[in-house]
């Protein structure tokens, strides 16, 4: 399984952590073995890992093949359908959170929201179920590819001709979600999967993953209660100023996060420097972001202007929609994708 380690103090962290909370050092991915089948003596309930599900059959429908990784709230397994043999990904809520009514309600809400999403640039939820041990799980299509974060780590800053087509595809998927009144809230490179696909621009289809923090814009008081369970809703380095302040969100918050993602994609660093994720988050409330060409002078001035607008502190000063942002990105490049993706 994949986990993350601080190369300075050697502490381990689960994804989506990107910086060490002790010293602010960027984390590196490492391989760890499967968790034990049972907790060790003396472990407290909060420390108990999920037992390995490899080899089990869930709901008489999904045979678990192997563990793929984990996040702050869940473990992810590769499985296959008993009938038909189609590969799927199974996301299982951790034991600690499976015992929490608020967390289980969040997972069920995630499923009900994501089941409404039907778009080639969005990963849908196929089914929600429960293991024999009472752990809740979600079933999603298995996408054979790699997260954008891994491409960035391997290749460094992306060329404009590679990055813009990927960003436009992400815009397309998020526009679909926003039209359903759904805001992602946790957009970041780890949540964009690149699936090899012949004929796609650059040879990859970008798919927005993990609507686990998605929130309907017309949310009621019950969702406010869920937010107070102690779970951090969002990744600090990519949060919009209004999300940091706990203000109401709409699609323009995702536009801000996509601007941060784009800045990192083209430069290899965040637009708000800081020794820790917390410092970078606070800088968003107090200072101006770096300009794109301060870091990479070779990039087009028009691209710098597009990203600068996405990073405006006030939502009304950003692009009004993902469609509008995609059109602006299209004007920078010559991919010809905008009309095909948005039917214009």
CB atoms within 10 A of CB 157: 17
Structure-token match 């290899």, residue found: 268
pLDDT at 321: 98
User: Which residues touch 103 (CB under 8 Å, ≥6 apart)?
Assistant: 73, 93, 97, 229, 231
Q: How do the pLDDT tens digits run along the chain, 344 residues long?
A: 456 666 555 566 666 666 665 555 566 665 544 443 433 333 333 444 556 788 999 989 999 999 988 766 678 999 999 998 999 999 888 787 777 777 777 777 767 877 889 999 999 888 888 888 888 888 999 998 999 998 998 888 999 999 999 999 999 999 999 999 889 988 999 899 999 998 887 789 999 998 755 555 543 333 333 333 333 456 778 889 999 888 999 999 999 999 999 999 999 988 987 777 677 778 888 888 999 999 999 999 999 999 999 999 999 999 999 999 999 999 996 544 444 554 44
pLDDT at 3: 64
Quote the pTM value: 0.77
Q: Which of 186, 210, 250, 254 is catalytic?
A: 186
Structure tokens at 22: 């002790």
Q: Hey, what long-range contacts does 127-133 have (CB within 8 A, 24 or more apart)?
A: 127/59, 127/61, 129/58, 129/59, 131/53, 131/56, 131/58, 131/92, 133/51, 133/95
Structure tokens at 83: 């009938």
Across the strands, what pairs with 95?
Answer: none
pLDDT at 46: 40
Residue 30 zone, left/alpha/beta (φ > 0; ψ -120 to 50; rest): beta
Domains of the chain: 34-38+50-141 (3.30.200.20), 146-342 (1.10.510.10)
Query: Is 337 within 8 Å of 165 (Cβ atoms)?
Result: yes
Using the Cα atoms of residue 236, residue 239, residue 243 and residue 245 in order, give the sign of their dihedral: positive
pLDDT at 65: 95
- Determine whether 133 is an active site residue: no
Structure-token match 């970078």, residue found: 280
| Angle between helix 322-332 and helix 160-179 axes, rounded to 10 deg | 160
pLDDT at 36: 38
CB atoms within 10 A of CB 76: 21
Taking the C-alpha atoms of residue 276 and residue 20, their distance in angstroms, rounded to an integer, is 8
């Amino acid at each position: 399984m994949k986990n993350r380690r601080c190369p300075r103090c050697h502490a381990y962290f689960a994804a989506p952590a990107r910086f060490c909370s002790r010293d602010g050092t960027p984390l590196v991915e490492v391989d760890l073995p499967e968790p034990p089948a049972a907790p060790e003596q003396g472990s407290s309930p909060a420390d108990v890992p999920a037992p390995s599900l490899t080899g089990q059959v869930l709901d008489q429908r999904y045979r678990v093949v192997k563990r793929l990784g984990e996040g702050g709230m869940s473990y992810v397994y590769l499985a296959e359908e008993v009938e038909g043999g189609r590969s799927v990904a199974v996301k299982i809520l951790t034991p600690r959170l499976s015992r929490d009514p608020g967390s289980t309600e969040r997972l069920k809400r995630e499923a009900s929201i994501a089941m409404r999403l039907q778009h080639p640039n969005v990963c849908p939820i196929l089914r929600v179920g429960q293991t024999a041990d009472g752990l809740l799980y979600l079933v999603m299509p298995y996408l054979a590819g790699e997260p954008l974060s891994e491409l960035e780590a391997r290749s460094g800053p992306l060329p404009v001709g590679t990055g813009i087509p990927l960003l436009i595809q992400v815009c397309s998927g998020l526009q679909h979600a926003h039209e359903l009144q759904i805001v992602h809230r946790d957009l970041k490179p780890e949540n964009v999967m690149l699936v090899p696909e012949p004929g796609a621009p650059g040879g990859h289809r970008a798919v927005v993953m993990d609507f686990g923090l998605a929130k309907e814009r017309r949310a009621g008081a019950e969702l406010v209660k869920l937010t107070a369970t102690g779970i951090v809703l969002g990744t600090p380095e990519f949060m919009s100023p209004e999300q940091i302040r706990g203000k109401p969100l709409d699609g323009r918050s995702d536009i801000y996060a996509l601007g941060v993602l784009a800045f990192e994609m083209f430069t290899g660093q965040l637009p708000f420097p800081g020794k820790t994720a917390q410092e970078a988050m606070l800088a968003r409330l107090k200072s101006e972001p770096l300009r794109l060409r301060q870091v990479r002078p070779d990039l087009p001035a028009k691209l710098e202007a597009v990203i600068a607008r996405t990073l405006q502190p006030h939502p009304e000063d950003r692009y009004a929609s993902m469609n509008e942002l995609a059109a602006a990105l299209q004007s920078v490049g010559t991919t010809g994708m905008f009309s095909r993706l948005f039917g214009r």
